Structure 1
Amino acid sequence: MQRFAEGVASDQAGCPETPTSPTRKPPDLSVVAFGFSHRTASLPLLERVSMAGDAVGKVLRQLSEAEPVLGAVVLSTCNRTEVYLDAERFHDSYEIARDVLADHADLPRGEVGDHLAVYYDGEAVEHLFGVAAGLDSAVLGEHEILGQVRRAWLRARDEGTVTPTIDLLFRHAVEVGKRARSETAIGRGSASVGQIAVELAEARLGGLAGRRALVLGAGAIAATVTGALASRRPGDLVVVNRSRARAEALAAAHAGRSASLGDLGRELAAADLVVTCTGASEVMLEADVLAAAVDAGRQGAPLVVVDVALPRDVDPGARGVPGIELHDLDDLRRFAAATLAQRERAATQARELVAIAVASHLGERRARQAAPVVAGLRRWAEELRNAELERHRAKLGGLGEAELDAVDALTRSIVNKLLHGPTLALKDGAGTPRGDRLVEAVSDLFGLDD
């Protein structure tokens, strides 16, 4: 499996092992995850496979409508694009996920497959729980990822692609993420992309007090950035967004001001710092626009630009523009690695919490599926046994109490032995598509749903 930014990734505490190779497979499959993250893919590749809005709905439908996939959730953030499937046949599921993602990104299937990380069943559960807990983030313990996991789950619910297995998985993932932040110190300090972006800018400019800062965007990350900037007491804080109303609301919440996209050129020329964090699918700041801002009477003062969007808001070619100091998500990860030690001890506690939660989740998943059917099957068999004993009681009239007890014990033993194999099969297959088929077959054969 190819890995991206390996040197940076190796510094991240609490990270899962290298993703599973698709050449290995379990005998039965339930939850399987495929995707890309900052550990396995370059920033340009992450940019190509990222998705939002209608694209997410389209991919969810393509995945869930393909046999043998039963349900799907898509998680796409600035650090990862992953699909979580309730599926049956491993290699078919792998090919479906690879092909759908390749078509979405308009990339060769071979290139997508080379970078596609794979996790199945218990590994997929552990991976998602670690993601929700902030253990797999570029910024260890970051805050935004938990909300992103929850929104991905709710979006799949809205699209009708969530199965009971997937629903239980994501409900537990959100619970684990909350516990990791409330029961450990993993989220304390600068644990968000927005906060780290502001700290990077602060380090590059030697402080932000009195500086002129511009935020491009008005979403969740923009709100974090604006709040972090406001706490540094800048001389001017302006929010620019396509929706002027949203820009005004965000700016007003932090004693700043708003501006329209039409005023962006003038605002850039006056700024010392620009942080871009829109959800746009196209470049928002071309290199020539930034070059014009530098030329507009800045008198040699550099313009620091921090792009935390994916896809990127800023033309990468702006790195070559004199007077522009451009930083993107790769730079942010390197900067964040330097502050990692503060949360390493908390990561150990969070990993232990995740391990316990994974075992609990798998146990509950099995119990939810197998227990009611096993109980129903045994109840049906016991009722049948008692009915047959009662029907033949007249023929057993010559037997004494000891002999009748022996007959009762014998018939009970026969029933238990007959049910032993089916009971084990139901329990062993619980939580997998094979288990689903067994539950359905047993229920139909013995009329347990009646």
Structure 2
Amino acid sequence: MSVLVVGVNHRTAPLDLLERIALDAQGVAKAVSGLVALDSVREAVVLSTCNRTEVYAVAELFHQGFDDIQHFLATTAGVDLETINSHTYAEHDDAAAHHLFSVAAGLDSMVLGEGEVLGQVRDAWEIAQAEGAARSSLNLLFRHCLETGKRARTETDIARGTASMSHAAVEMAVDHLGSLDNVSVAVVGAGVMGEGIAVALHGHGARRMTVLNRTEEHGRSIADRVDGTVQTLAALNHVLVESDLIITCTGAQEPIITTDMARPATSPDRPTLIIDIAVPRDVHHEVAQLSDVTVLNLDDVQRWAARGREARTSSVEAVRAIISEELDRYAIASSAMQAAPLISALRSHFDSVRRDELDR
């Protein structure tokens, strides 16, 4: 039995492939159910964020599991196997655990030390548990990886400063617009990223904020937290016209802002800034060609975030030491778990022998 990870991320694949392979929560649930239905896969967790889509699995045989997961990724992205092969990476056993722990600690993120990924890892694990796809082996692995991520952020300065995609996006907005005090802002999407963006905007002085979400109920708690208003996506056309700044981060599989929707919002007297950090992209690429509209995407946010990376690199070695400690603890716990059935069988055998001797 092998624990393995197979995936693509912002370092190995272009944005258009990341968009095609990205899964929302419903897609992740369907994916893990499909993976564990394969003969080669015993357990599975799928982590899909704006930066990566990774499959963590327990496989009977590494090579068969790897091949099956490669086919799964190719099918998900709608591309041929050769394309997937040129962009994926794979690790197994100790190296797979090390990779996951590094992800949870923020060392493998587009923004070094970002905090959002830890919640995304937890969500992925919980979905797999709900689908019955994560059992003893992956449950142990993910418990230890979450502990690693928590320690990295509480015991080091890895998360200090601009350590999230949401904060990087908001800092870009401030750089373009200056003060946000009198700026009309729309946050489209009320997930973890949307909440982080709304809070960061509020912290930078934004007081005229609308939170849009597919359901009003889910967006209300965020809007209340930042003294904003809430609307459903049905009001998006109207909100675009009224907004100076739009930051969008939904899990939609198709663009939700088209040129026809954005054109009425354009005005030489009131230029519009749109920051799209969704994967797949929420804003159709042709919107950027409109006059008086500036569209920034995930690549722009990555370049911006890289400017503050140096301030957190001094904590990397301390985080690596934490990862090493937690890997040792995981290895001990994993060995104990694997030995448990043998120990139980030996105890049963010796108890049986003892009873036979006493009965003589």
TM-score, shorter chain, exceeding 0.5: yes
TM-score when scaled to structure 2?
0.93
Match in the other structure for 1:236: 208
Match in the other structure for 2:313: 344
Q: How far apart, in 1, do the equivalents of 2:233 and 2:118 lie?
A: 31
Change (3 A) 1:56 1:379: closer
Deviation of 1:315 (Å): 0.7
Native 8 Å contact 2:207 2:227 kept in 1: no
Match in the other structure for 1:209: 181
- List aligned pairs for 1:110-259, cutoff 5 A: 110-234=82-206, 236-259=208-231
Q: How far apart, in 2, do the equivalents of 1:250 and 1:372 lie?
A: 48
Deviation of 1:344 (Å): 0.7
The structure 1 residue matched to 2:334, chosen from 344, 365, 385, is 365
Give per-residue Cα distances to partners, 1:61-89, cap 9 Å, x unaligned. Answer: 22111122111111111111100011121
Match in the other structure for 1:307: 276
Bigger Cα displacement from structure 2, 105-114 vs 248-257: 248-257
Q: Which runs of 5+ in 1 are unaligned?
A: 1-28, 392-450
Deviation of 1:363 (Å): 2.3
Q: How far apart, in 2, do the equivalents of 1:245 and 1:381 lie?
A: 60
Deviation of 1:123 (Å): 0.6
- SS of 2:275's equivalent in the other structure is strand
Give per-residue Cα distances to partners, 1:108-139, cap 9 Å, x unaligned. Answer: 12111211110111110000011111111111
- List aligned pairs for 1:280-359, cutoff 5 A: 280-294=252-266, 298-359=267-328
- SS of 2:86's equivalent in the other structure is helix
Q: How far apart, in 1, do the equivalents of 2:35 and 2:207 lie?
A: 50
Q: Which amino acid aligns with 2:178?
A: G
Q: Which amino acid aligns with 2:155?
A: E
Matched, 1:58 2:27: no
Deviation of 1:262 (Å): 4.1
Deviation of 1:260 (Å): 4.2
Deviation of 1:350 (Å): 0.7
Match in the other structure for 1:80: 52
Native 8 Å contact 1:69 1:86 kept in 2: yes
Change (3 A) 1:60 1:236: same
Q: Which amino acid aligns with 1:360?
A: R
Deviation of 1:248 (Å): 3.6
Q: How far apart, in 2, do the equivalents of 1:165 and 1:179 lie?
A: 22
Q: How far apart, in 2, do the equivalents of 1:378 and 1:278 lie?
A: 54
Bigger Rg, structure 1 or 2: 1
Match in the other structure for 1:15: none
Bigger Cα displacement from structure 2, 53-62 vs 111-120: 53-62
Match in the other structure for 1:425: none
What is the RMSD computed on CA atoms of the aligned residues?
A: 2.3
- SS of 1:162's equivalent in the other structure is coil
Q: How far apart, in 2, do the equivalents of 1:78 and 1:30 lie?
A: 27
TM-score when scaled to structure 1?
0.75
Deviation of 1:231 (Å): 1.8
Native 8 Å contact 2:111 2:163 kept in 1: yes
Deviation of 1:36 (Å): 0.8
Q: How far apart, in 2, do the equivalents of 1:266 and 1:163 lie?
A: 47
Q: How far apart, in 1, do the equivalents of 2:235 and 2:38 lie?
A: 47
Give per-residue Cα distances to partners, 1:358-404, cap 9 Å, x unaligned. Answer: 1221222112222662585489579969989xx9xxxxxxxxxxxxx
Native 8 Å contact 1:86 1:163 kept in 2: no
Matched, 1:100 2:72: yes
May I ask how many residue pairs the two structures share in their alignment?
Answer: 359
Give per-residue Cα distances to partners, 1:29-65, cap 9 Å, x unaligned. Answer: 5200001111111111011111123322221122111
